[in-house]
Structure 1
Amino acid sequence: MFAKIGEAVRLNRRALLKQDTVIDNNCMALTPTPAIGDPRFLLKFMQTVDLSPFAVATTVPSVRRGDVEGITMALPPLPEQRRIVAKLDQLSARSAAARDHLARTIKLATRAKQAILAAAFRGDLLGLGTAETVKINARCWDLPEGWRWRHFEEVATIRSNLCQPSEMPDLPHVAPDNIEAGTGRLLPYNTISEDGVKSGKHKFFAGQILYSKIRPYLRKAVIVDFDGACSADMYPIDCSPEIDIRLLHRWLISEDFAWFTAEHEGRTVLPKINQRSLNGAPIPVPPSEQQVEIVRRIEAAFARIELLTEEATRAAHLLNRLDERLLAKAFGGELVPQDPNDEPAEALLARIRQTRTTAPNPKRRRPKKTAAG
């Protein structure tokens, strides 16, 4: 079964039905004839077929039945079909296991980053001993000697510079959706549309932090290196000389800070933290000379983790290409050996055609009309 209408055609997703199923008019299903000994062989062949070029460009792109029926395939003998399916299943299981391991690696990398941040803001990253245990927001925290808890408003300032409508079209626009959750990475952003001019926006400047006040548990914050406009759901933030802006940025994307904000977020249509609550949020502030070294170690550790993540992502893409190559080899006759003792597919097809020729045509019966009809 596969989609035959709309953008879903371009996804080229296939499913093997394992029970009697009702499908709507947006899908199409193929039933294998006796020339195909295993439905999985037909499924794997269809995974090699890109249906998007067949989509008729009407109001809604769609694939016609005749287009699908006109697709040709090189048909091997039945025993070879079974060997192909068995080999593909074996290799697919291996690539699926490898893909699961890679996905786990990426998840572990995310956890490792949070573990590094937790260690950084407890002094463990520098191997500092505990001077005292402080209870902050009903949570106990070990502080090294010389460290102090500060409220957000003591070391940072939220800037609200209303952007004039005349400036809006010329400025790049950043919204919460343009920041990757928990990483501090800026995603592709867009220029404000004409409709965006009507809503309240704030200017931000290079060197500031943009922090999303909606859904604070997503930990969306980024240091920008350009001037622009942000949505009203974001706070442009400046730092005082008491704290390194890079250290504050890492604190804002840490799970520990998200835990603190969860106690003070407002419950409206969307959970958010208002300016007053953010100003009262706690920040562990080390001495200045330690801040520089902590930031250096965080950045170095993150760089190693991101390199590992990039390699895992690249390997996952290579697995996808490997699956494609395996399918191409399978239906090019290169994946499994041919056996000269197998009955040729042409002989099988001839026997099927003969059976169809001699079989009587089933008569179609019209349903009887009821009295009500």
Structure 2
Amino acid sequence: MREMRDSGVFYIGYIPASWSVAKYKYFSQSRMGETILTTDLVENGIPVYSATNDNTLFGYVADASVVLKQGDLVVPARGNSIGFMKFVEHSKATCTQTTICSYNIHGIENKYLYYCSYAFKEDWYKYDGSAIPQVTVEALKNNFLSYPPLHEQKTISEYLDCKCSQIDSVVSKQMEQIERLREYKRSLIAETVTKGLYPNVEMKDSGNSFLGSVPAHWEVLKFGHCIDVKSNLVNPNDYSDYPQISPESIEKGTARIRNYQSVDESGVISWNHLFFKGQIIYSKIRPLLDKVIIAPFDGLCSADMYPIETNNDALFIMYLMLSNSFHSQVALVTENRVKMPKINQNELSSIIVALPPIDEQREISGFLSRKCYEIDSDIAQRIIVIEKYEELKKSLIYEVVTGKKEV
């Protein structure tokens, strides 16, 4: 076992005695990217990296003042993707003003530096307390890393390339399965809320291209005839202990609450809607995200949401709102609102739906609840597998780039 010593950096800990510790700035030049707007993009040209948590490109530009080459590094410096460093794979590229780029990398293997960023992400990219999370070039340059001689860095980089590729392959397959399950769930909901549970029932033309044929005994009507939007704005100061829900509280397309706080904890000061347990809560901003739930408690919701009541089966109405036919009609009325898509009450009420008798609504919602529970449980198990592999990857990289695991 090789001799170890204290690195003097708390997040690095002990390293091999032959290794060194230095600041990021000694190995590269770093600067902010250039201002690039969507209007600057062209069909083909120089690839543009932006602040995302994956390698998705912002697009392409014809020319660039910040020119990067293969092996350079791009760090998202704004928003929720801070620290998700990208290794430039293109012979020529550039990056946006929301990123920091590192170039002229010297004295260290480019890929090794990339893996150090991955290993120390939580400590390197602690951002300031401003409203929009951000890190600075100076902060990045003053981060510490541990490193061995160059030949050992190359060995480590090749080892991690191999191991991480294996882990990424497992994760990718799980994500593909999750997307298939989500697509199956969407198609199941779409089919069931427009065709019903009985394949041999007599059908009729709905007169709506999005709905197509529906059971003959179902009623085709405007959505506003089967729901009632319950606008009920109140002063949040009078409800400080109530749960508060915003569009960000709801997962897109799953009818599940992701997280929420009390009114006091969330710090809301603008008037919110008072809603009640059992009401449907629907986000009217960015409606194509399909953020809708059945309220599990009384509380307040953002004025960007609609509390909805119905004399029909609320679960059926919720599934109806998650269907492809409903989504497509929402897309049609909001298609020209690019900056901040929003659907108003009149537009929401004008959407055409097919409504079965109340007993059949309950039968359908019960069936969908059972099937969606099975699908969601399968997805949840696969997410646990992904999280375990991602934690394994993070731990492996950290152990190797600090010399605690010898390769």
Q: Which residue of 2 aligns with 1:230?
A: 301
Structure 1 residue 316: deviation in Å? 1.6
The amino acid of 2:320's aligned partner reads: W
**Cα distance in 2 for residues equivalent to 1:177 and 1:89:** 36
Say which one has the larger Rg: 1
Retained in 2: the 8 A contact 1:151–1:280? Answer: yes
Q: Which residue of 2 aligns with 1:211?
A: 282
In structure 1, runs of 5+ residues without a counterpart are 337-373
Structure 1 residue 179: deviation in Å? 2.1
Retained in 2: the 8 A contact 1:212–1:221? Answer: yes
- Alignment root-mean-square deviation, CA: 4.3
Q: Which residue of 2 aligns with 1:290?
A: 360
**Cα distance in 2 for residues equivalent to 1:54 and 1:271:** 32
Which one of 271, 282, 301 corresponds to residue 371 of structure 2? 301
Retained in 1: the 8 A contact 2:229–2:307? Answer: yes
Q: Which residue of 1 aligns with 2:225?
A: 154
Q: Which residue of 1 aligns with 2:189?
A: 117
**Cα distance in 2 for residues equivalent to 1:32 and 1:295:** 62
Q: Which residue of 2 aligns with 1:271?
A: 341
The amino acid of 2:249's aligned partner reads: N
- 120 and 335 in structure 1: CA distance in 2 versus 1, 3 angstrom threshold: farther
In the TM superposition, 1:67-146 aligns within 5 A as 68=144, 72-73=146-147, 78=151, 83-123=155-195, 126-139=197-210, 141-146=212-217
Are 2:253 and 1:182 aligned? Answer: yes
**Cα distance in 2 for residues equivalent to 1:56 and 1:117:** 42
More deviation, 160-169/181-190: 160-169
Retained in 1: the 8 A contact 2:246–2:305? Answer: yes
The amino acid of 1:289's aligned partner reads: D
In structure 2, runs of 5+ residues without a counterpart are 1-27, 33-74
Which one of 355, 375, 383 corresponds to residue 313 of structure 1? 383
Are 2:314 and 1:245 aligned? Answer: yes
More deviation, 39-48/220-229: 39-48
- 214 and 26 in structure 1: CA distance in 2 versus 1, 3 angstrom threshold: closer
In the TM superposition, 1:1-80 aligns within 5 A as 33=107, 39-41=110-112, 43-44=114-115, 47-49=118-120, 52=123, 68=144, 72-73=146-147, 78=151
Count residues in correspondence: 325
**Cα distance in 1 for residues equivalent to 2:286 and 2:187:** 22
Runs of 4+ in structure 1 over 6 Å off: 2-7, 17-30, 53-61, 64-67
- 142 and 232 in structure 1: CA distance in 2 versus 1, 3 angstrom threshold: same
- 48 and 157 in structure 1: CA distance in 2 versus 1, 3 angstrom threshold: closer
Give the percent of matched residue pairs that are identical in Structure 1 and Structure 2. Answer: 24
Higher relative contact order (CA 8 A, sep 6+): 1
TM-score (norm 2): 0.64
- 145 and 100 in structure 1: CA distance in 2 versus 1, 3 angstrom threshold: same
